[in-house]
Structure 1
Amino acid sequence: MDIHNDENIKMYFYENRLKTFEGWPFDEDCECNAENMAKAGFIHTPSKTSPDVAMCFFCLKELEGWQPEDDPVEEHKSHSSSCTFITLKKKVEELTVKEFFNLQKEQCKFVVNKSCNEAVTKFEEAAKLRKAAIIRTAMGEE
Structure 2
Amino acid sequence: MDPYQDKDTQMYFYENRLKTFVGWPFNEGCCCTPENMAKAGFIHTPSDNSPDTATCFFCLKELEGWEPEDDPIKEHKSHSSVCHFIKLKKKVENLTVEEFLKLHKEKHKFMMGKRCKDAIAMYAEAAKLRRAEIVKTVMGEE
Report the TM range for the smaller structure's normalisation: over 0.9
| Unmatched runs of 5 consecutive residues or more in structure 2 | none
Matches of 1:120 and 1:7, distance apart in 2: 26
1:39 equivalent in structure 2: 39
Higher relative contact order structure (alpha carbons within 8 Å, sequence separation ≥ 6) = 1
Matches of 2:79 and 2:12, distance apart in 1: 20
Are 1:80 and 2:74 matched, yes or no? no
1:29 equivalent in structure 2: 29
Give 3-state SS (helix, strand or coil) of 1:55's partner: strand
1:123 equivalent in structure 2: 123
Residue type of the alignment partner of 1:126: A
**Aligned-pair RMSD on alpha carbons?**
1.2
Q: CA-to-partner distance for each residue in 1:82-126, whole Å, 9 max, x for gaps?
A: 000000001101000000000010001100000000000000000
Deviating above 6 A after TM superposition, structure 1's stretches of 4 or more consecutive aligned residues are none
C-alpha deviation, 1:8, in angstroms: 2.6
Matches of 1:21 and 1:28, distance apart in 2: 13
Give 3-state SS (helix, strand or coil) of 1:8's partner: helix
Give 3-state SS (helix, strand or coil) of 1:73's partner: helix
Matches of 2:8 and 2:24, distance apart in 1: 20
Q: CA-to-partner distance for each residue in 1:51-85, whole Å, 9 max, x for gaps?
A: 00000000000000000000000000011000000
Residues 10, 16 of structure 1: 8 Å contact kept: yes
Residue type of the alignment partner of 1:41: G
1:139 equivalent in structure 2: 139
Give the TM-score taking structure 1 as reference length.
0.95
* Aligned-residue identity in percent: 68
Matches of 1:7 and 1:36, distance apart in 2: 22
| Unmatched runs of 5 consecutive residues or more in structure 1 | none
Give the TM-score taking structure 2 as reference length.
0.95
Matches of 1:8 and 1:40, distance apart in 2: 18
Matches of 1:105 and 1:98, distance apart in 2: 11
Residue type of the alignment partner of 1:127: A
C-alpha deviation, 1:7, in angstroms: 2.0
